Amino acid sequence: MSKSSEAVDKENGPPLGRETLKDWISIIQGIATIAALAAAAWWFFFQEEQAARINVTQAITHRTLTPDWTLIFVSVSLTSCR
């Protein structure tokens, strides 16, 4: 029986060849995928806490110019909550 890269030696285990390399690459890919998902979840949760918050205040006043006309003033103020 000749030893090829596909054959398994019963005494020494599987050969170090393409199949073993593919297995290691798959394991590394799985770990990288899990790390990327964890990093994305961490970023999402911490972005939510650091999102900009704004207070909006408004003031509306009016003046009667004539019986048919009224002038309306609208003032809007935006301030940061940080």
Q: What does the domain layout of the chain look like in residue ranges?
A: 18-80
List pLDDT tens digits, range 17-71. Answer: 777 888 889 999 999 999 999 999 988 887 766 666 788 999 999 999 999 999 9
List pLDDT tens digits, range 1-16. Answer: 455 545 555 666 655 6
Structure tokens belonging to residue 18: 């393409």
Q: How far apart are CA 28 and CA 22, in angstroms?
A: 10
Q: How many CB atoms lie within 10 A of CB 19?
A: 13
